[in-house]
Each structure stands twice: as C-alpha cells, then as structure tokens.
Amino acid sequence: MKKPIPLSSLLKKKIEEEQEDSKEAVEVTDETSELYKDLTSNIEKIKQLLGKSNDITFRELTITQKPFTQGTAVFINNIVDEQIVNEHVLEAIIQYPFEKELEKENLFSILEKETLSVLDVNVLNRWDDIANEIVSGHTVIFVNGINEVVSCKTNGGNYRSIEEPSTEVTVRGPKEGFVESLPINISLVRRKIKSPDLQVEKKKLGKITKTNIAVLYVKSVANEKIVQEVKARLNRIEIDSILSSANIEELVQDGTFTPFPTVFNTERPDIVSSELMEGRVAIIVEGTPFVLIVPTSFPQFFKSAEDYYQRFDIASLIRILRYIAFTISLLGPSIYIALITFHQDLIPTTLLINLAAQREGIPFPALIEAFIMELTFEVLREAAIRMPRAIGQAVSIVGALVIGQAAVQAGIVSAAMVIVVALTGIASFTTPSYNLAIAARMLRFFMMLVAATFGLYGVMMGIIVIVAHICSLRSFGVPYLYPIAPFSPTGQADGLIRAPLWWMKKRPHLISRGRTKNMPKDLHPTPTTKGDTNDSS
C-alpha cells in the first residue's frame, strides 16, 4: 500500500506549477521584447497580440528570388487607405528589381529609401511599437531572417467631408468646420495661420484606446507658463479610454463642482485661429469635431464668430443683447414669482388686476406653476433634440402651443406664466455657447426656489452667491471673470462690446506673452481730400 502524499506537498507542487505557467505566459506576452528572426514565429506572435481579429490582413510577399526571401505585410482593412497600400507598398515591393546577390542586411535600407513611396517609413524592433503602428492604420512588413520590421504610414479610411458647423452658424463667415480626422483638423488651422510659430505637438492618451491628440499654440504669442501647465495636466491623465474631447475637458478643468464651463469648445477653425493669436492653447482630439481652447473666461462664451464679420457697432449691439437675454433666461421666472408672491405693490394696478383675475382659479402657488411649465418646456426641448430633424422642430413648436393653450384652459397655469416661461426659453437660445446655456437652465431652478422663499431679497442673495462663485473660478490659473475682474482697460475693447479693430491693439496680458499686436498706429482710414475724389487732371 502506497503512503499517501501529504497535503502540504500537493499544495507546494501546485504553486510551483502555477509559477511556471505564469513565467511562460510572461515570456509569451512580453510586448517589450525584440522580434524573432523566423517569419512564422513573428506572425504567430503578432496574431496573439492583436487577438486574431478578422479585419487584419496578412499579405504574403516574395521579395527576392536569389536568395529566396519571403515577407508578410500586415495591416487592418478598414483604417488604411487601400490605394496607398496597393500602389505604394505592395506593388512597389513586387515590381522593384532587387539585386540577385542582395544581402538581407541591406534590404531594409533599400525598402526605406528606394522602394516604398509613402510619406513616413520607420524601422521597428519592439512588439509594443509594432502593435501600436498596426492599430493606428500603418502597414508593417515582416521579412524572414530579420528581427526588425518596416512600418509604412498608410492610415486613411472614410471620413466625414468638411461642412458648415451645425451648432455655430454664421451669415458672412466661412462655411467650414472641423471633422473627426486629426490631420484634417490640423490642416484647417494651418491654412489660416501660415507661420512657423504655430507649434503642433502630438501625443497619445488612453492606455487602451491610445487616442491621438494635438496641442496647438503660437510660440511667439502664447504664455509659456500656460503652455507648460496644459502639457503637465495632459501628462497626468492615466485612463483606459479617451473617446472624445469631453473626456479630456473633465480631466484637465480647474473647477469640477461648478455648472459653469471652464474650458471653451468650438468646431470652427476661424475661432480656433483667432484664439491662438490671442495667446491661448488649443487641444484637438481625434474622433471628435469639437476643439478645446484654454484658458477661457466668462465673457468669451458670449462672443460669436459673426461678431467679427459684421461692423463693430452692429456686433456690439448684438453682444449686449446676448447679455440681456442671458439675464432674462436666468432670472425671468424667479422675478415673476417674487413679484406675484411678495411684492404685488411693485406691479402697476391695472396689470395686477389682470394677473389676479388670471390666477383666480389656479390651484397651485406661483412656484409650483413655474416648475410645471419649466419642466414641460425642458422635456419638449430634449424631445426635439433626440427626435429626427425633419419632425423635431414641428413637435417642439406644436407641443408647446398645444400644451400651453390646454394648460391655460384647464386652469392649471395662468397665461402670464406661459408667457414668462416661453420668453425665458427663447432667451436661452441666444447664448452662443451651449454649455453656458445649460448652466443658466440649471441655476434657473435654484433662483426660483430662493425667490419663492425670500422674494426679491432672495433673488439678490442668489445673484451675489452666483457672482461670488464665478469670481472664485479659475481656468488654468486665469481668473474666470477676466477682463472684468480683475479689471483690464485694454480687455474692454473686446468684452461687453466689440470695438473697432484699430482699437484692439493689445492682447490679454494674463494670457499672451507679447501684448502688442503688429498693427500700424494710423490703421483707421481717413480721407485725404474733400469733395470729389476723382482725378481732375
């Protein structure tokens, strides 16, 4: 009879087997090791790294006959430009007259300098670099007997064509907007700023997605401290996936718990170019048409591209109108609630009698009445956004008319409340920035609560709290209310109003390095002669 093996020995043996398996797994999946010289081993290794996906193509090639040299081109179908792969890589290798006594050590030099007619050709020997190149849309060529590969830049595929942005429409401005391609977006900015001072620094973010981003700034204009701060915050990002610019916005912004946006975003190249010339920094993310601009300030969200394509007096009037509309969208229902609930003596007698007659059969107080209409309006607005474009506007308009009229006839809300809520909703659409408009919609409910509790005194206290909160915000170290607080006389030329171009001679001193713009002193054209300007001679 055999003596039973002790349990401790079994456990020890099991642990040793698991350690051996883990060592073998590390050896197989080590992505930092160098390649093998055997082509078959390399192909098996790359299949293991890429998960044997069906969209990966392995194209076998016979590079030279004497000596017989075999190779394999590896690329992913849907993210490469097939024409470049066929004509400038595969066909170029097959048709190139290699020497009969060519040594394998000289093969890569010939491929890199003479055979492959693509923009970027690199020689790699690490598995992690090779895998990153393939998933980025490059074509990698393995050669039997060589423990290195040639990587060719062949990324392409289908992208949305350049068209007018749907969220930032202008009358006289350019009709081009950013798309989801990083190279195309950079080229749109390059076309407007044709200067070697425009710096473009690329990097990858996301441990799994490895999303390409680009940091743009004008070297002679941007503040070096702000540029370094932007790079430092981007370098601190350690996350698995970056799928849009909104992910980066949340990770680099100063104020996290605030309804106000501290990072500006746009999909217009002209706005990005204008902000770069002011000294700001742009962050372009692959896969999204919205470009981030930092640092930003509160007055920047009231500016529109149309302001700089119209006369300064027209642009100033429209900009002041935006500030008034923002105030209405924030305070409209709360002021009405305060007047109806606490301060009837401030309402003219005739109007007060009409309002009292309208509210005679209303079973709810003004606060509940306002909440019902505001929530209904927000639901209609959200439904209009999510529904197909062909019927979205019709549903929102018809729904607002039908529900508003039915609510008044049913005695649930008064006609005056419908007018106030409708005016507030329309005023919110005048804000150029969608993010700031959402902030006003959120704070509107807070202002309604304090107005129903304390009247106009509560409204004033709410305004003080909001202004104090805005004053405490920073955007990459720059005060959020700049140039209002701290007050900057030169910044007022493009603040509440849009002054003529010949007045805007200096850049924001907290953002830019060189404050003075290269602008003639006598830029404003003045007539040199009076009367008829035709040459009488």
Determine which helix (DSSP H) or strand (DSSP E) holds 285, and give its type and residue range.
strand 281-285
C-alpha span between 110 and 117 (Å, rounded): 11
Taking the mean position of all CA atoms in its chain, how far away is CA 200?
A: 16
Residues of the chain with pLDDT under 70: 1-33, 65-66, 100-105, 389-398, 401, 514-537
Determine which helix (DSSP H) or strand (DSSP E) holds 354, and give its type and residue range.
helix 349-358
C-alpha span between 537 and 535 (Å, rounded): 5
The answer to whether 292 and 249 are in contact (CB under 8 A) is yes
pLDDT digits (tens, 9 = 90+) for 340-393: 999 999 999 999 999 888 888 888 899 999 998 898 888 888 877 777 766 666
Widest Cα–Cα separation across the chain: 133
C-alpha span between 247 and 260 (Å, rounded): 16
CA distance to 275, 374, 442, per residue, from 437 (Å): 21, 15, 9
C-alpha span between 491 and 501 (Å, rounded): 13
What are the residues whose beta carbons fall under 8 Å from the beta carbon of 426, sequence distance 6 or more? Answer: none
C-alpha span between 303 and 305 (Å, rounded): 7
CA distance to 193, 303, 495, per residue, from 218 (Å): 9, 21, 22
Strands (E), 35-124: 56-64, 69-76, 121-124
Question: What pLDDT sits at residue 447?
Answer: 96
Q: Nearest-CA neighbor of 441 among 420, 451, 427?
A: 427
User: Is the torsion defined by CA of 430, 431, 433, 435 positive or negative?
Assistant: negative
Question: What pLDDT sits at residue 186?
Answer: 95
Question: What pLDDT sits at residue 501?
Answer: 84
Tokens of 466: 């909001």
CA distance to 78, 396, 423, 428, 471, per residue, from 392 (Å): 34, 6, 20, 18, 38
Question: What pLDDT sits at residue 481?
Answer: 92
Taking the mean position of all CA atoms in its chain, how far away is CA 440?
A: 21
Question: What is the DSSP code string of 204-227?
Answer: EE-TTT-EEEEEEEETTTB-HHHH
Count of CA atoms in the C-beta half-sphere (13 A) of 263: 23
